[in-house]
Amino acid sequence: MDRKIEAFLTLCRTMNYRKAADELHLTQPAVTKQIKALEAEYHTRLFIYDGRQLHKTDKCLILETYARSMEYNYQEMQLAMQEKERLHLRIGATKSIGDYVIAPSVIQYLRNKDHELTLIVDNTEQLLKHLNDNELDFAILEGRFDKTKYKYALFRNEPFVGIHGKDMEWPDRVERIEDLFGESIIVREKGSGTREIFENNLKSLGYQLSAFSRVIEFSSFYLIKKAVAEGLGISFLYQSVVDGEDGIETFCVEGVQHEHEFQFVCLKNTPAWKYMEGFMQEVLNA
């Protein structure tokens, strides 16, 4: 791949000339020279400093989108030149999907003995980073993402529900979100799709998490459900995450989104879409 593009993508990832130089085994002036050459080629600034902080320009963001696709396609070209077929898929999934939804699909895909697969389960923010760094072919996300930067397709719609301990007296439907603010709210870590969805719902109603009497943060679904079942607070999760939990019951709140999309996401203008479609067809038509 073009050394200027390689240097550009490394700097986009590290946002630090010294770190980029270390990764590329170049001197810092050599990396600067590569970036200056790109800026001269496209007649635009790609990076600017605000004080000591490096920032991407709008033109940089455009080039970054295309350059990531170029990097992916370069690897595909190498396989084609060696007359090798891609049999190993690299898939990412958010925790709700990876731990509670996609297992039957993965098992079905691997029933074909020619198929190989690596599945990374992480939050939306980290999966998008893996995707941008060409470490995944595609991801299945629950959180929001910039749809102008990626190609995507609907996997399925999933109910998004409130949960409380079974021993608590609770109506099936809560009329106002304000009625919940006396409770402790248990949420996932920052960067998770589940938390982002709930926080965006709150913002649309004019509130933040701090409106609740107490905020508890767990990255573990097991701990969230255990704490809710023990009556330590309430939470909002996908229906598939809480199905079959004896100590938990669900409820809905007026004004809070009751369903959300799970999306297949990949880089634009790459064969990753072909691999994504192949995976979808195999698991959905089985």
Residue 106 domain boundaries: 88-149+261-284
Q: Tell me: the pLDDT tens digits for 132-154?
A: 988 999 999 987 888 988 999 99
Residues 92 and 135 in one domain: yes
Residues 128 and 171 in one domain: no
Strands 150-165 and 259-267: antiparallel
Q: What is the mean pLDDT of residues 153-181?
A: 88
Alpha carbon separation from 227 to 12, 67, 238, 252, 275 (Å, rounded)? 40, 45, 16, 19, 40
Tokens of 236: 């909002």
Tokens of 223: 């701990």
Q: Tell me: the pLDDT tens digits for 87-97?
A: 688 999 999 89
Query: Structural domain tally of the chain?
Result: 3
Q: CATH number of the domain at 107, please.
A: 3.40.190.10
Q: How many residues does the chain have?
A: 286
Residues 243 and 268 in one domain: no
Residues 121 and 64 in one domain: no
Residues 191 and 53 in one domain: no
Residues 172 and 42 in one domain: no
Judge whether 170 and 222 are in contact, CB under 8 Å: no
Task: Give φ, ψ of 193 to 5 degrees.
Answer: -65, -40
Rounded to an integer, what distance in angstroms lies between the CA atom of residue 13 and that of residue 9?
Answer: 6
pTM for the whole structure: 0.75
Residues 136 and 164 in one domain: no
Q: CATH number of the domain at 54, please.
A: 1.10.10.10
Residues 52 and 97 in one domain: no
For tokens 């020619």, what's the residue?
114
Residues 44 and 97 in one domain: no
Residues 195 and 215 in one domain: yes
